[in-house]
Amino acid sequence: MSLLGGVISVKGIAFLMFSVFVIAAVGYALGRITIKGVSLGTAGVFIVALFYGALFSGPLQATVTQMVNGSPVDISSNALKIVENLGLILFVTSVGFIAGPNFFKNLKQNYKSYILLGLVVILAGGLSCIACFYIGKGGESDPKEFVAMLVGLLSGSLTSTPAFSAAKATVLPEYEDAVTVGHGIAYLFGVIGVVLFVQIMPKLMKANMDEERAKIAVVDTGSKKKEYKGKLIEMDQFGFMAFALAAFIGILVGAIRIPLSSKGFSGTTFSLTTTGGTLLTALVFGHFGHFGPMSVKVEKRVLEIFRELGLMLFLIGAGIAGGAKFVEYFKLIYFVYGIVMTIIPMVLGFLFAKYVLKLSLLNNLGSITGGMTSTPALGTLINVAGTDDVASAYAATYPIALIAVVIISQAICLFVG
């Protein structure tokens, strides 16, 4: 890209870095705009990234290249994926460390509620998807392609990469593009819808946030972990080594595949993915705090910075990639279907948690962000709540929702239409 008549020329990886920081600056400015106490927050970065991807995907495709064996190779998609995945790892690992000290006590007290709520949310999303199929199939020429599109919309409305991957692996190869397009179309409202929901509900319910924070604070059950009697060895003053070790192990755990069909590893498989693996590992690290004489604690301020930085990078990587395809394949009816698949499970889940499970407001909303597998919404909720304790509810509900949405997506692909 050239500016000022060619005096300034930004090319290659420098253009990608230029794009990341421009989007971050404008996105945070947009997110700061507040209307009646509600703002986009970090999700403003996602909005700007979508528009940027729609407007400048051409320059990104053309300039972000590298030379391999003398031949130009486009790495724009890979580079964006690196930005997205790095952000996801930073965010989720930070959340795991933050939630770890209280997670297992909270899970022990409320595990039935988290399991039920995760299943209710995903089941409501799956039923919404099936309902959209029967409502709209009369206007579609290829029912199987329509199913693939709807399952992509479901994964996008729940911002679930594992469901997206599972759906692509289940449909016939000629319908994989339909899954991808559906995911991209629904992803926009899938992010913004839950982000706005966790801000609006406390205002609608006129919640006293001091009282709500007191309710979600984990009560000490009296059981104490055995403390290490010797002096702990810290590898560095910030805990970077512990953080990196947790992320490294988490990526390996997330890469473990479990076959779900008679085809073995060549057929459909399930894995925790990078998100689930790093979350689980960081929860364990955060819970124990040390292994033998080695400290695995990370400074809280470092975790807060990594959490926000990770969320920003994740939204930029996902937003640019989604924006590049959003305009090309957008249809209003598909966008409406995506809205339905976001709102119905979110609202039903909230009502179920409030009136059946009797969860407190912040525990409820934290569980909803986990049930909706919404990483951006958790970041917003932490700011709204003014406490990291909501991360424990997210971390408890998320694995249930993760497994359920993968199974539901595959079942719809195989048995509907």
Q: Using CA atoms, how far apart are residues 272 and 89, in angstroms rounded to an integer? A: 13
Mean pLDDT confidence for 345-373: 92
d(CA 382, CA 384): 6
Residue 344 belongs to a domain? yes
Question: Looking at residues 163-184, what average pLDDT do you find?
Answer: 74
Average pLDDT (16-35) is 87
Q: 67 has which bridge partners?
A: 72
Question: For the chain, first and last CA: distance in Å?
Answer: 47
- pLDDT (tens digit per residue) in 372-387: 988 778 888 888 888 8
Task: Report strand pairing: 8-9 vs 2-3.
Answer: antiparallel
β-sheet bridge partners, residue 291: 294
CB proximity list for 358: less than 8 A, separation 6 or greater: none
User: Pairing state of beta strands 71-74 and 2-3?
Assistant: unpaired
Kindly indicate the confidence band of residue 189, based on its pLDDT and cuts at 50, 70 and 90: confident
On whether residue 14 sits in a domain, the answer given is no
Tokens 């990370």 sit on residue: 298
Q: What is the 3-state secondary structure (H, E, C) of 82-138?
A: HHHHHHHHHHHHHHHHHHHHHHHHHHHHHHHHHHHHHHHHHHHHHHHHHHHHHHHHH
Query: Does the pLDDT of residue 224 top 60, yes or no?
Result: no
Q: How many domains does the chain have?
A: 1
Q: Dump pLDDT digits (tens) for 396-411.
A: 888 788 778 877 887 8
Distance CA 378, CA 96 (A): 12
Judge whether 75 lies within some domain.
no
Q: Domain span at residue 269? A: 86-218+247-286+303-311+324-415
CA–CA distance, 262 with 268 (Å, rounded to integer): 9
Res 70: pLDDT: 40
Q: Over range 98-119, report the average pLDDT.
A: 80
- Closest by CA to 66, choosing from 53, 54, 79, is 79
Q: Is residue 358 part of a domain?
A: yes
Angle at 78 between CA 73 and CA 82, to 5 degrees: 145
Average pLDDT over residues 201-226: 73
**pLDDT tens per residue, range 136-149:** 887 777 888 888 88
In a domain, 13, yes or no: no
| Mean pLDDT of the chain, nearest integer | 80
Contact status, residue 383 vs residue 37, Cβ threshold 8 Å: no
Q: Does any domain span residue 30?
A: no
Q: 279 φ, ψ to 5°?
A: -65, -50
Distance set, CA 219 to CA 102, 106, 270, 357 (Å): 9, 8, 35, 18
Least trusted range by pLDDT, from 10-14, 84-88, 322-326: 10-14
| Range in 31-45, 286-300, 338-352 the model is least confident about | 31-45
Assess contact for 285 and 222: CB atoms under 8 A: no
Closest among 182, 135, 126 to 410, alpha carbons compared: 126
How many Å apart are CA 352 and CA 24, to the nearest integer? Answer: 37
Is the pLDDT assigned to residue 194 strictly greater than 70?
yes
Three-state secondary structure call for residue 331: coil
The CA distance from 190 to 128, in Å, is 14
Domain-embedded: residue 227: no
Strand pairing category for 269-270 and 258-259: antiparallel
Residue 5: inside a domain: no
Q: How distant is the alpha carbon of residue 282 from its chain centre?
A: 16
Q: Where are the beta strands (DSSP E) in 128-228?
A: none
pTM score, whole prediction: 0.70
